[in-house]
Amino acid sequence: MTTSRSAEVPQLSVLDMSSLLIGIVVGTAIFEAPPVIFSQFSTPGGGLLIWGLGALLAFSGALCYSELATAYTDFGAEYVYLDRAYGRRVAFLFAWMQFSVVVTSSIGAMSFVFVSYSAHIFPGIRQFPALVAAGAILTLLAFQISGLKTGKFVQNLLTASKLFALVGLLLVGFSRVPTEATFTSFESAPSSGSFALALIMVLFAYAGWNDSTAVAPEVRDVQRNLPRALLYGLGFIAVLYISLNLAYLNILGFEGLKQAKAPAANVVQRVLGERASWVMSLVVMISSLGAIHGTMFAGSRLLAAVGRDYPALGVWRKWNARGAPVWALSTLAVISCVLIMIAGTDSGVQLLQQAATQLGHSAPSGAQTAFEILVVAASPVFLFFFTLAGLAVIVLRFTDPTRPRPFRVPGYPFTPLVFCASAGFMFYSSLMYAGLLTLLTVPMLSVGLVLAFVLRPEPAQTSAATEDVRQIH
């Protein structure tokens, strides 16, 4: 066991990082969100345009993160950016909420999607979904602990398998010639409230690309390759998402898509028959595993950065001989499993209800499933710090003007302002939707605030970005 990252040269290529980004982003939203999105419009054109708008907003964020990631290339991503822009306490609070709420909730939510679609093939696992979800996480943990090369191979394999399956879905979706009735006018728009819901769902589908910047120190020629990987990866995802929605419309029609419970499975079933529905279940299972694996891979690097800066949490910066931050990975896996047991078992849900009752309210009716509880509760926390990270581009231009910036945001300051405005709007909307369920994150927030003032950082350091994690064994 080493006390820090090994001195090996960066191993990740543009392809590797693009694969990681795609693996994180293309999870399950594309299989669940389209009916909700298109239901907010009177014509399919509005739904397709909102998918395009979501891509543009994601691109603006990627440009902001490219400037930050190439200027501050140490492990930690937002942790480093927020430290530089707002100070250690804000950065620590971000890291604390990320691993205790945001990243682990995302991992847990994806694991429940894996279980849900696995049950279509193996109905018996419906009897113990939480155990199966936890088992999936622990299995991926074992692969990642076996080392960077193994973890990279598994990530690329999962992403390649997922994309191969999605290409197959596209072929099925376009196996019939579109008719004029399939795609109607692009006129008409939803009300402002419906537009907000549609935009939130689309941006949720694109969420996760920022996590890939956490592995910037492991990317070869990071100043050149990281922006390319972000833009190439998001460009591919945008084309994939819009193409899949066109495929849904082609087979199911506009009204059929709005009413679909599982649009991808419905497409396969309508074209290939009932027996082919298991194929779509496998696609979503693979997609979920890829998202979990990529999120764990990137999230562990954040904990490694925190362990580097705070001696009391130094165990997180320990890397094994195979080049994996074993304790950071294990922490994410354990907390994710705890959240799974809380949100995915009857006793856990009762505990949540009792906590809400103590506050004088009950959980919102819109969050009933384990997946919904985890996503709804974590979204406002994620979006709050997401907005702060975007603003850091502007703040650091003033407070650290001499810092070399190999990549500068085109259209500054308009581009970061658009990104921050959209992220801020999403934060407000998610907070209003989550309501009092957000209060369930207050205990972790309270602990994080206390630790931010109690814990002392490494005395020899003046900033989270001053020490390179890649120390020699």
Q: State residue 431's pLDDT score.
A: 82
Q: What pLDDT is recorded for position 473?
A: 30
Among residues 251, 189, 225, 260, the alpha carbon closest in space to that of 41 is found at 189
Return all residues near 122 (Cβ < 8 A) that are at least 6 apart.
none
191 class by beta-carbon count within 10 Å (0-12 exposed, 13-18 middle, 19+ buried): exposed
The half-sphere exposure of 345 on its side-chain side, counting CA atoms within 13 A, is 15
Alpha-carbon span 22 to 234, nearest angstrom: 8
pLDDT number for residue 96: 92
C-alpha to C-alpha distance for 31 and 287, rounded to whole angstroms: 10
219 secondary structure, DSSP code = B
For the chain, give every domain's residue range.
14-454
Give the contacts of 199 (CB within 8 A, at least 6 positions apart).
Answer: 50, 53, 54, 422, 425, 426
Q: How far apart are CA 83 and CA 447, in angstroms?
A: 19
Backbone φ and ψ of 12, nearest 5°: -85, 130
Report the chain (473 residues): mean pLDDT per 10 consecutive residues: 52 80 79 83 88 88 89 80 93 91 88 83 86 92 75 67 77 72 49 62 81 75 83 91 92 87 81 79 80 82 84 85 84 92 81 68 56 79 91 96 90 91 85 72 88 82 42 31
Question: Reduced to 3 states, what is the DSSP secondary structure of residue 12?
Answer: strand
Q: How far is CA 99 from CA 1, 96, 161, 223, 398, in A?
A: 23, 6, 28, 27, 30
| pLDDT for 359 | 60
**Separation between Cα atoms, residue 232 and residue 37, nearest integer Å:** 25
- Where would I find the beta strands (DSSP E) of 37-188? none
pTM of this prediction? 0.79
220: left (phi over 0), alpha (psi -120 to 50) or beta: beta
CA distance 84 to 105: 27
Q: Indicate the CATH number for domain 14-454.
A: 1.20.1740.10
Is-contact 27 291, C-beta < 8 A? yes
Q: Check: CB of residue 59 under 8 Å from CB of residue 65.
A: no
